Amino acid sequence: MDARTDAPKPAHGASLPDDELFIVRAFSAPVPLVFRMWEDPEHRARWWAPKAFTCTHLKQDFRIGGAWRACIVSPETGESWQGGVFREIERDRRIVFTFAWDGGPSAGVETLVTVTFAERNGMTVQTFHQTPFLNVERRDAHVVGWSQLIDREQAYAETLAQGATS
């Protein structure tokens, strides 16, 4: 299995509309651990940022209707605030939440993020889907950032999983 698919298309090969982003990644870590990394803000803050950014603030009320808010910082761009509301939570299976930036070219545009988790051959297969984007350019601008964030998530999950088996 290819452990990394960072393309704006679904796993089944069909094309996505121009306003959708889709990333699939397989982690060498159990589903409950990967899910907990989304649920626990202390864990999420350790990987919730692209490369060259640091998450300096992450608060969340992890329940349906609960809000979340985060700030990522880079030396080049300074602070970037974001937040949303959890819409659906199915333990170890699915998280759906809204996402909106406070500033920048996508300020105030609310998207919906769906993250699913499945066990396959002892690995966690995580899918990440976000929609709608204003246009292809805004979507494509997010592919790199989300891919780098998920790289950090994967490294963190696999380090934790190694520690649990040691």
The count of other CB atoms within 10 Å of the CB of residue 53 is: 20
pLDDT at 121: 92
Residues of the chain with pLDDT under 70: 1-17, 165-166
Of the candidates 119, 96, 128, which has an alpha carbon nearest to the alpha carbon of residue 29? 119
Instruction: Determine the pLDDT at residue 3.
Output: 45
Q: What is the pLDDT of residues 28-60, one digit of tens each?
A: 999 999 999 999 999 999 999 999 999 999 999
Predicted confidence at residue 14, as pLDDT, reads: 52
Nearest residue to 149 (alpha-carbon basis) of 25, 13, 31, 3: 25
pTM over 0.85: yes
Q: Cα dist. 49→1, 65, 109, 152, 153 in Å?
A: 26, 23, 19, 8, 9
Encoding tokens for residue 132?
């709608």
Architecture of the domain defined by 4-10+19-165: 2-Layer Sandwich (3.30)
Q: pLDDT at position 106, please?
A: 79
